[in-house]
Structures are given as structure tokens and as C-alpha cells.
């Protein structure tokens, strides 16, 4: 979907994970949690809205990505609200 331009792929992992593990080219980065203690990002929804709007438009399909699926599920729940 993302490769065809039908969705925006958002990486919700921390900046540290992206740096040391790597990332998928073309993804939008909006961390669900930050720092080594993984403190929840209080600006997540605002950052997500802004970055998705600039990447794919306000009505874009959004796919969230993390290592295990736990953070992306929490992020999706917050975004849906």
C-alpha cells in the first residue's frame, strides 16, 4: 500500500531504535515514546496529524510500524480517538 502511494507508513519506534536497528526508507517518523526510558510522547497525535497531512493528505490511510506491534497498537488507539 505504501509503495503504491495508497498509504503513509509511520514508524512509531524511538529515534534510538531507528538509529541502531535501521528503518524503512520513505517512512514517516513519529515516536510513540522517547528516550531510553521510553517515556510516552505527549505530542504524538499532533505530530502524527501534521506529518501525515504533509506526506499524504488529511484523509490518507495510515499504517503504523514498531518492533512487536504493541506500541503501534497503542498509537493507533490514540490516533483513532
Can you give the residue range of the structural domain that contains 10?
A: 2-80
Centroid of chain to Cα 32? 7
Any bridge partners for residue 29, and if so which?
A: 11
CATH number of the domain at 75, please: 3.40.250.10
Give the model's pLDDT for residue 65. 96
| Domain count along the chain | 1
Q: How far apart are the first and last CA of the chain?
A: 23
pTM exceeds 0.85 for this model: yes
Average pLDDT over residues 4-28: 93
pLDDT digits (tens, 9 = 90+) for 31-72: 999 877 889 999 999 999 999 998 877 788 999 999 999 999
Q: How far apart are CA 14 and CA 33, in angstroms?
A: 6
* pLDDT value of residue 4: 86
Amino acid at each position: 500500500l505504501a509503495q503504491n502511494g495508497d498509504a503513509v507508513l509511520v514508524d512509531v519506534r524511538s529515534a534510538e531504535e531507528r538509529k541502531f536497528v535501521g528503518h524503512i526508507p520513505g517512512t514517516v517518523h513519529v515516536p510513540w515514546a522517547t528516550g531510553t526510558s521510553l517515556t510516552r510522547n505527549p505530542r504524538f497525535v499532533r505530530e502524527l496529524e501534521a506529518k501525515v497531512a504533509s506526506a499524504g493528505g488529511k484523509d490518507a490511510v495510515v499504517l503504523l510500524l514498531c518492533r512487536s506491534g504493541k506500541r503501534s497498537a497503542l498509537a493507533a488507539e490514540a490516533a483513532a480517538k
